[in-house]
Amino acid sequence: MRNKYLDFNYLIKLEALLVERGPTRAAERLHLTQPAVSNALAELREHFGDALLVRRGRALALTPFAEGLLGPLQAALAQMRSIVVARPDIDPASSGREFGVMTCDYIALVFLTRAVRRLAALASNVTIAHVPASEPEQFDRGEADVLILPTRGNSQPSHPHCVLFSEPVAYIASTRNRCAARLTWEEFLARPRVVPSDRLVAGFEPEGLTTAPAMSLPLLAIPSCVASTEYVAAVPEGLMALFERVLPLRRVHVYGAEPVISYIMQWRRETADHSVERWFIGELRKAAAELDGDAMPDVRSRSLPGRVPRLLPRRPEIERLTSTLGAM
């Protein structure tokens, strides 16, 4: 029989089932046994009069009804969770919130580390949990509170957003590579290249007709590959700065290339007006603003138009990264 009401716990189980596409992973997410979650699924199916999850090949998929239910459900749960943790005159820095920030490893390396230092300097007990970005739908499914990715190559934001920071794009080659120091757009695209394997961070990679094979590697591995081969690549200036003093790399001037890459930050619209979320977003924006004043002096980007924050980590960060990635 259809229940008149569903309590908060059933709604949480329903969200986990729809996000994880099945009881096994939902049980792991909720730290419950699989039989308990399977029983909840049976009761939810009876309540809604819909299968919610159906077999499609070897996996489970959402029914059309469940697809339409997920967004409103997540918005409602976000509001309910904010009510549960609400306190009078709460200090956002002392709220103890954990914010999931979805981004790529490169942005985590050069930006999230700065955000963590800023929170530590404020003696805040707010924490950041890095959520690796693999597909845009992750954020829409509620798997993170904040999303930071390159603007180009990603879909139009459907949540509140801003441009967080920008930096030049560096076109790089090995110092032993015999290609010219100046290339036309067509000449660059015609050369063998290394491209990011993650499509969500492909905003650095030029768009155009490719006439040469391309190696696909994680973004952080590209400089090491370029340094030891005849391949060229387009990478963020900050990544080039991390490696150029320890690897035989040089810049290539490409006529007609896009000189700047911007990074957009999105946060969830259902929590945009909450005081702790507003404070956290503000602190991330302040951390991004500090990038312009904390850059290394050897930038080689004087020809770039306008005021572009130069995301160049200091020497100790270069040494730490190269010791970590020394095996590459």
Q: What percentage of the chain exceeds 70 in pLDDT?
A: 78
Q: What is the pLDDT of residues 16-66, one digit of tens each?
A: 898 888 898 888 888 889 899 999 999 899 888 899 999 888 888 889 898
Where b means 16+ CB within 10 Å and e means fewer, 297-306 reads eeeebeebee
pLDDT grade, residue 175 (50/70/90)? very high
Mean pLDDT, residues 91-96: 79
Spatial distance between the Cα atoms of 277 and 271, rounded to a whole number of angstroms: 7
Higher pLDDT, 158 or 49: 49
232 — phi, psi (to 5°)? -115, 170
What is the pLDDT at residue 116?
A: 92
pLDDT grade, residue 327 (50/70/90)? very low
Both tokens assigned to 238: 């900050």
Q: What is the pLDDT of residues 177-212, one digit of tens each?
A: 988 889 888 888 888 999 888 877 777 776 666 666
What is the pLDDT at residue 101?
A: 93
What is the pLDDT at residue 283?
A: 93
pLDDT grade, residue 6 (50/70/90)? confident
- Taken in order of first residue, the domains within the chain and their CATH numbers are 8-84 (1.10.10.10), 94-328 (3.40.190.290)
Both tokens assigned to 72: 């409103």
Q: Residue 146 carries which DSSP code?
A: E
CB 298 within 8 A of CB 191: no
**Nearest to 6, CA basis, from 21, 60, 15:** 15
Q: What is the pLDDT of residues 97-152, one digit of tens each?
A: 889 999 988 999 889 999 999 999 988 889 999 988 877 677 877 788 899 988 87
318 — phi, psi (to 5°)? -60, -45
Alpha-carbon Rg for the chain in angstroms: 23
Both tokens assigned to 111: 């930006």
Q: Residue 187 carries which DSSP code?
A: H
Q: What is the pLDDT of residues 123-138, one digit of tens each?
A: 888 999 998 887 767 7
What is the pLDDT at residue 88?
A: 59
What is the pLDDT at residue 302?
A: 31
Pseudo-torsion of CA 281, 87, 273, 12, nearest 10°? 90
What is the pLDDT at residue 85?
A: 58
User: How much is the mean pLDDT over the chain?
Assistant: 79
Helix H segments across the chain? Answer: 8-20, 23-30, 34-48, 64-84, 105-107, 113-121, 137-140, 185-190, 222-227, 237-243, 275-289, 315-324
Spatial distance between the Cα atoms of 129 and 2, rounded to a whole number of angstroms: 39
Mean pLDDT, residues 284-312: 51
Q: What is the pLDDT of residues 257-272, one digit of tens each?
A: 777 888 999 988 767 6
pLDDT for residue 78 is more than 80: no
Kindly report the number of other CB atoms within 10 A of residue 121's CB atom. Answer: 8
Kindly report the number of other CB atoms within 10 A of residue 81's CB atom. Answer: 14
pLDDT grade, residue 322 (50/70/90)? very low
